Amino acid sequence: MITVLTITVLVLIAIAIWQMTKIFELSQLRAAKNETATDNDNKVNGYLMFAFLVFIYGITIFSFYKYTKVLLPESASAHGAEYDSLMFVSMLIIFFVQTITQFLLHYFAYKYRGEKGKKALFYADNHKLEFIWTIIPVIVLAGLILWGLYTWTNIMDINDEDDPLVVELYAQQFNWTARYAGEDNVLGDANVRMIDIDNTNILGLDESDPNGADDIIVKELHLPVGRKVNFHMRSQDVLHSAYMPHFRAQMNCVPGMITQFSFTPIKTTAEMRQDPDVIDKVKRANKIRAAKAAAGEPNSDPWEYDYILLCNKICGKSHYNMQMKIIVETQEEYDKWIASQKTFGGEAATGVAIK
| Residue 315 Cβ vs Cu ion, minimum distance, rounded to whole Å | 3
Of 41-49, 63-71, 236-244, 276-284: span binding Cu ion (CB under 5 A): 236-244
Of 70-78, 232-240, 268-276, 345-353: span binding Cu ion (CB under 5 A): 232-240
| Residue 80 Cβ vs Cu ion, minimum distance, rounded to whole Å | 23
Nearer residue to Cu ion within complex by CB, 13 or 257: 257
| Residue 219 Cβ vs Cu ion, minimum distance, rounded to whole Å | 16
Q: Is 233 left (phi over 0), alpha (psi -120 to 50) or beta?
A: beta
| Residue 171 Cβ vs Cu ion, minimum distance, rounded to whole Å | 6
Nearer residue to Cu ion within complex by CB, 75 or 235: 235
Q: What angle separates helix 127-155 from helix 80-111, to the nearest 10 degrees?
A: 160
Nearer residue to Cu ion within complex by CB, 234 or 240: 240
Of 23-31, 95-103, 257-265, 320-328: span binding Cu ion (CB under 5 A): 320-328
Of 48-56, 59-67, 284-292, 318-326: span binding Cu ion (CB under 5 A): 318-326
Nearer residue to Cu ion within complex by CB, 238 or 293: 238
| Residue 231 Cβ vs Cu ion, minimum distance, rounded to whole Å | 16
User: How far apart are the C-alpha atoms of 36 and 312, rounded to whole Å?
Assistant: 53
Distance of CA 95 to the CA centre of its chain: 20
| Residue 237 Cβ vs Cu ion, minimum distance, rounded to whole Å | 9
Bridge pairing between strands 175-180 and 216-218? antiparallel
> How far are the Cα atoms of 190, 307, 317, 324 from residue 320, in angstroms, in the given order?
27, 16, 8, 12
Nearer residue to Cu ion within complex by CB, 243 or 263: 243
Residues 255-314 that bind Cu ion (CB under 5 A): 311
User: How far apart are the C-alpha atoms of 354 and 337, rounded to whole Å?
Assistant: 17
Residue 39 in contact with residue 99, Cβ under 8 Å?
Answer: no
Q: Is 322 in the site for Cu ion (CB under 5 A)?
A: yes
Which of 315, 324, 328, 348 lies at the binding interface for Cu ion (CB under 5 A)?
A: 315
Nearer residue to Cu ion within complex by CB, 165 or 310: 310
Which of 228, 234, 240, 246 lies at the binding interface for Cu ion (CB under 5 A)?
A: 240
Nearer residue to Cu ion within complex by CB, 206 or 237: 237
| Residue 259 Cβ vs Cu ion, minimum distance, rounded to whole Å | 14
Residue 201 in contact with residue 212, Cβ under 8 Å?
Answer: no
Nearer residue to Cu ion within complex by CB, 254 or 285: 254
| Residue 321 Cβ vs Cu ion, minimum distance, rounded to whole Å | 10
Bridge pairing between strands 240-244 and 175-180? unpaired
Q: What share of the chain is helix, strand, coil (3-state, %, to 5)?
A: 50, 20, 35
Largest CA distance in the chain: 95
| Residue 253 Cβ vs Cu ion, minimum distance, rounded to whole Å | 8
User: How far apart are the C-alpha atoms of 337 and 208, rounded to whole Å?
Assistant: 27
φ, ψ dihedrals at 106, nearest 5°: -75, -35
CB atoms within 10 A of CB 53: 17
Q: Under rule CB under 5 A, how many of the chain's residues touch Cu ion?
A: 4
Nearer residue to Cu ion within complex by CB, 216 or 315: 315
Decide: residue 326, CB within 10 A, 0-12 exposed, 13-18 middle, 19+ buried: buried
Site residues (vs Cu ion, CB under 5 A): 240, 311, 315, 322
